[in-house]
Chain A
Amino acid sequence: MTLLPWKRADRESGPQTSVFEDLALPLFPSLYNVASWLCSNPTEAEDLVQETFLKALRGFPAFDQGTNFKAWIFRILRNTYLTSRTGLAATRTVALEDELGTSEDSGPGLHPEAAIDRQTPEINLIRLSDQAALHAAMEKLSPPLLEVILLCDVEEMKYKEIAAVLDVPIGTVMSRIARAREALRRTLQPHHTPIREFRA
């Protein structure tokens, strides 16, 4: 297991606990938003955020000041989610198809990175402005694809930060982002033509 900088628990002296509030509270809305997407249940999302804050507060003396606090606390949120009832059920359901890259989001014989639609930007713009359609499309994403899209697009994290949160290689992050966007396109525009088919 890779020992991340913030996991080094043998620090001689931890930072002031008050610093925790300054760092963590501004991230509270983001943590709640991601928790709500993952749990799909307000009560579970609240429990998840509360537990995340409790764990982060407890582990804060081991946090390396100067490293990425946002990635650190999101990693705690994600690990806490994975051990929750919803998280366990979700991972058991999708783990295999995620590993094999054959989820419902990828069409048969289609490389996950291989699809860009050929619609005009004007049509896309109209479709993308439909919030309800976008919400529905995002809800259809499997948890590994949803979390990567939330971290990348909503939280504006860099690939390296996302890799640290998810504890996966950057290549996996890129692959999941490509698959997630392909899945969104497929849901939003079922008749789109994959770029390689079009160009063949």
Chain B
Amino acid sequence: MDNAIETNALGKRYRRRWALADCTLTVPAGQVTGLVGPNGAGKTTLLELAVGLLRPTTGTITVRRRSAFVAQGAPVYADLSVADHLRMGQRLSARWDAGLAWSRVNQAGLDPRQRAGRLSGGQRAQLALTLAVARRPELLVLDEPAANLDPLARRDFLDSVTRAVADSGEGMTTVFSSHLVADLERTCGYLILLAGGQVRLAGQVDALLERNHARSLDDLVVTYLREVPR
């Protein structure tokens, strides 16, 4: 099977603490992969290694797709307007789809003249997602994109991620992390469970459920997390 990301004995150390240790995994191309794990499991570290914000301390990571990234908290420039952000995306991107960007901004009901610092959490996440999707990436990486949103905005946001993946039409590979299994349940075909800086479980969601005789993804994840030594 074609893989978008492959890691081999990947490790990342911050000063004394290993955020990720001896981590070997693959992310299959053309599907949505959920990266789940408790806080501090190494999810952000793994994703930032994948998009080149961090460099491995040990091991290797190979990314075979052109990626776009939405970081935790959906950072944007507070004093630039929504329209300025789209111009920024255009100028910093090799394959910018301006039509897609504008239609997504209109759909999300964002005022192009609004300064990004005045957007609500949900609107800011939509803007950040638009900036990533309009680059027409082959690999979309989202780090806890819904973490700080209220339940309604959270549902809207996850739906728009699903829609963006479906609309991309080219089988855009998507990886997104969350510490809430519920976020992943409706969207993911492939699951990677990370805890204590290591992979605890990885595979197609259907197969994992069947093999472990689990009723839900939640049960499955909790079962595996119980086994993690504290």
Do A and B make up one complex? Answer: no
Interface residues of A (CB under 8 A from B): none
Interface residues of B (CB under 8 A from A): none
